[in-house]
Structure 1
């Protein structure tokens, strides 16, 4: 990735614009700002976390724009939506097949290599359907004494 030399936490403006164009997304100023945060590295971010990072960079992107843009990125195949529960949705910039470990006490989400998980005895699929993928989320918390 082409990281911004002035801020290693952001993708360069040029790289963000090119990525959006390659996926048939009009590179508006707000979309470019969101892409710069989301695609600086493989990471899992909620819309609120992205909004927080944008605010630290003096951005004026609205919460609704962040949500709409992330939904567009997911629709265009730039991010994966990872649903932890109905109230927790993360956007994952790592599109390679993998699973997740969710820390319930910190809210952190991390990748789990699919080679470390053995999934067998999958159910029979309905006629005319094919398996698109298997997403496993392990929820972990502090051990109770």
Structure 2
């Protein structure tokens, strides 16, 4: 069930994001259901009933949401970036034929033997993307 307007507002404010009308519209699209959307998908959906946000506004807002931890940015290759409202630890299947991204529960993948990070840094996380194609 999609979040209510009050829930979206609270979610934005909890991440220290000023809830402008356009940011609320973009958040409404992202959190409508479990999904992985590209910036162009978000732009198309936000403007489906008429212009509400420019391409620059959508890209800037998605970047802000990702920096603030509201969404995850999933880079499947240099030309394909998805925005994922599921910020819990998890991984992905990426179908190179269809362009579809699907969640994998974090417990389904065991990562062992990671090297020590470079001096002065700490590991922030591990993202696994398993690329598949249609049989």
Is the TM value for this pair above 0.5?
yes
* Partner Cα distance (1:99, 1:127) in 2: 27
Alignment length (residue pairs): 135
1:57 — aligned with what?
49
1:27 — aligned with what?
19
Q: Secondary structure at the match of 1:112?
A: strand
Q: Mind listing any 5+ residue stretches in structure 2 that lack a counterpart?
A: none
CA-CA distance at 1:15 after TM superposition: 2.4
Match of 1:77 among 69, 77, 82: 69
Q: Secondary structure at the match of 1:90?
A: strand
Q: Secondary structure at the match of 1:56?
A: coil
Moved over 6 A (4+): none
Q: Mind listing any 5+ residue stretches in structure 1 that lack a counterpart?
A: 4-10
Match of 2:100 among 97, 103, 108: 108
CA-CA distance at 1:69 after TM superposition: 0.4
Using structure 2 for the length normalisation, give the TM-score: 0.91
> 1:90-129 deviations in whole A, cap 9, x for unaligned?
1110011001000111111010112111211212322333
Tell me which structure has the larger Cα radius of gyration. Answer: 1
1:16 — aligned with what?
8
**For the aligned residues, what is the CA RMSD?**
1.6
Using structure 1 for the length normalisation, give the TM-score: 0.85
